[in-house]
Amino acid sequence: MTSHVLTVTCQSKRGIVAAISGKLAELGCNITDSAQFDDPGTGQFFMRVSFVSEQGHNEAALEAGFAPVGADFDMNWAMHDEATKMKVILMVSRFGHCLNDLLYRWRIGALPIDIVGVVSNHMEYQKVVVNHDIPFHCIKVTKENKPQAEAAIMQVVKDTGAELIVLARYMQILSDDMCQAMSGRIINIHHSFLPSFKGANPYKQAFERGVKLIGATAHYVTADLDEGPIIEQDTVRITHAQSPNDYVSLGRDVEAQVLSRAIHAHIHHRVFINGNKTVVFPASPGSYASERMG
């Protein structure tokens, strides 16, 4: 049996769930997990269904069989073979905590992706990446060459067939053109403080204000810097006894965790963009299992 995921977005109306489940049953499929959400504010309906094809139909046959239902409800829908790993490019500058965490999770199978390349504007992590048998691309970025540098990055995306870019602490602002070209396919991670601090050395600012919570936010990249639809967030508590360096270490740890969870949600087709927000469905049973422990 082959496992698949069906994702659906459409205007909410009566009979959608019945039509979907009925068609999948007709196609010889057994639903193993399902989640849905009606947004009363927008009138949009979102659904994610995991199922197995007990008759062994491939993706093309399933798509052909389901197409009439999609047309009847004017759905934006897609079928995904769960055995196919998403092709991902990681981008990093000089902070390597997220990169190293993702490489480890990828190596043990906890993050089932196909890392087709790592792009950096520095050389610090070339050896680490090459030692994992992953292509490394050093693309320097300056004010003068930014358009050419982004063109080179997009060429890597094209050549590798990458479906997702992950900014694993890549400290360059992407152009509006690149954000639009990869809309919904670039994930960024950054710190988030309560209250918020921006600019140089935010951890020092937080320490001086006696912040008790620091955290991280993973979101899709848009032309509005750090304001794209949020996928995942988390926080860690700080006490008066922590030093500024403690803030940095704890912040890096939560950044790595939040970024990996956001990627996990995206590659399993659990995230639906809903205007400036997202709908993020829970993980299906077994989707966190690793191929090996170390």
Q: Identify the structural domains of the chain with CATH numbers, from first to last.
A: 2-81 (3.30.70.260), 87-280 (3.40.50.170)
**Mean confidence (pLDDT) of the chain:** 94
Kindly tell me if the per-residue pLDDT of 56 is higher than 90. Answer: no
Looking at residue 286, what is its pLDDT?
Answer: 87
- pLDDT at 34 > cutoff 60: yes
Q: Is 286 left (phi over 0), alpha (psi -120 to 50) or beta?
A: left
C-beta of residue 206 within 8 angstroms of C-beta of residue 247: yes
Q: Is the pLDDT reported for residue 293 higher than 70? A: no
CA atoms of 30 and 25, how far apart (whole Å): 7
Cα–Cα distance between 103 and 254 in angstroms, integer? 16
Q: pLDDT at residue 1 above 80?
A: no
* pLDDT tens-digit series, residues 78-133: 999 999 999 999 999 999 999 999 999 999 999 999 999 999 999 999 999 999 99
Contact 215, 175 (CB under 8 A): no
List, by residue number, the catalytic residues: 226
Whether residue 48 contacts residue 270, with contact meaning beta carbons closer than 8 Å, is answered with: yes
Give dist(CA 111, CA 102) in Å, integer.
Answer: 8
